[in-house]
Each structure stands twice: as structure tokens, then as C-alpha cells.
Amino acid sequence: MPERAIRPVAPPGPAAAHPLMPLEVRGVSFVAGGKRILDEVGFELANGARTVILGPNGAGKSVLLRLLHGLLKPAGGRISWAGMEPAAVRRRQAMVFQRPVMLRRSVLGNLTHALAVRGVGRAARSALAHEALEAAGLAAMARQPARTLSGGEQQRLAIARAWALKPEVLLLDEPTANLDPGATRAIEELIAAVEQDGARIIMTTHDIGQARRLADDVLFLHGGRLLEHGPAARFFAGPADPAAARFIEGALLA
């Protein structure tokens, strides 16, 4: 069954007005099982641009995203959100994984449970959840068990669940991996709507076409190292790093 298009409805709740939360990453490394996954990665994100972390499989993209969210701790270096450690600002963020976790509840119940855990009152909970489902094109499935949704629908539900929490930063790990073009388009539309509501978007992908469509700012990772960082227009016009140039030409990187 093809994915339903996102309906052009208002976002859940009032438009967000979050203060900017600048990010500084200084010499961050991560080691697992004796293998260095990230090696002295450093960059700054000072504006609200949509940032895409691009690179081949195994580049360290997902690990970097988990470090930014405070789910992992670096072996070296420091990550700072407006001068604070990632764990201190985690409630001001939301993260959606490549394979979203669906609770054994209805589609609506997945949202209301997340809002209840965050401390949102019962009345506001219901309104926010229904508005998020409407915006994500899932309102007709509200009573359906979440685990019976298609892969694309589950990912849209995960993004809607995150959006209902009104995060300042939404971190997305390969949100359209293994999805067909229709499902991918629906999710990209939903990401754009979340950004328009005031959330900063930081996402990983190895899909060059998707990065071209979505990125304002590109971080290119390969072999655990940050090889290039800059505006998307400049990056795609001609990367300075040879590996990045080969990657966007479609070459396999060793």
C-alpha cells in the first residue's frame, strides 16, 4: 500500500520559540571493542541551519548522533550545547532512530504515553497527540496497534511522537533507510514541517540525493574522521576533500 501524503495542517501546539542552542564539538573520539569509531572529530554549529551528517556506511555517523544526544560518552574530547553537557539538555531534544521503537500500544497511545512520561497533563496530552497524528497523516490509524503499521508509517509515527514533545533539537538517524520513494517523500515533508515549527534538525544519511534535497549544512564523515564541513551548496558544487568528491560521484570508499 502506498504511503499517504502529509496533509497541509497546522503543526501540533503553538509555534515553538526556542532560544538558539549552539553546539561545540572539540576533539571527540569514541572507542568500542578496541576499535576507534570516531577520531578527533571537531566542529561548531552556531546557527539554525538543517545539518546533514553525510558519509558511507560505517563512517561513524550514528555514533556521533548518539554522542550529541548524550546516549554515549566520548572516550576523549568534549561536546557542549550552550556550555552544557549533552545529558543536561536531553529533555530539550528528541531523537528518532533508524529502527523506531514502537510500544505495545495503539498509534495514539504511543504519543500519549511519551507525553505522560514528559509530565504533560492529561487534557493537553490528548490534544497534542491528536494534532501530531493529523499533521503526520496518521489520524485515521489512531486506534490501530502501532506495531502493525508499515515501516514508513512507523517512522512517521516516531517523528510525530518526537514532534509532540516540542524539542529544540530533533536528531534523526537515517530516517528513510530501506524505505520506498513514496515513504521517503512523506517523511521528508514531515521533517520540513517539524523544522518550520522551530526545531533544529540534525540528521544522518548515506543517501546523497536526500542530502542534496534537505541539507543547508553538511558534515562529511569517513573512517571515523570529519573530512569536510560547510554549506551544502558549496559542498555539492565541489568538495575540497578527495574522498568526499569521490563519494558524491557514487564511488565506493574503502
* Residue among 202, 158, 212 at smallest CA distance from 64: 202
Element (H, E) at 187: helix 181-196
Q: Percentage of residues in the chain with pLDDT exceeding 70? A: 92
Q: Is residue 12 over pLDDT 80?
A: no
**Which are the contacts of 132, defined by CB distance < 8 A and separation ≥ 6?**
12, 111, 160, 161, 163, 164
Q: Are 169 and 202 in contact (CB under 8 A)?
A: yes
**Helix, strand, coil share of the chain (percent; to 5):** 40, 25, 40
250: region left, alpha or beta (phi > 0 left; psi from -120 to 50 alpha): left
pTM (predicted TM-score)? 0.90
At 54-100, the pLDDT tens digits run 999 999 999 999 999 999 999 999 999 999 999 999 999 999 999 88
Q: Which amino acid makes up residue 44?
A: E
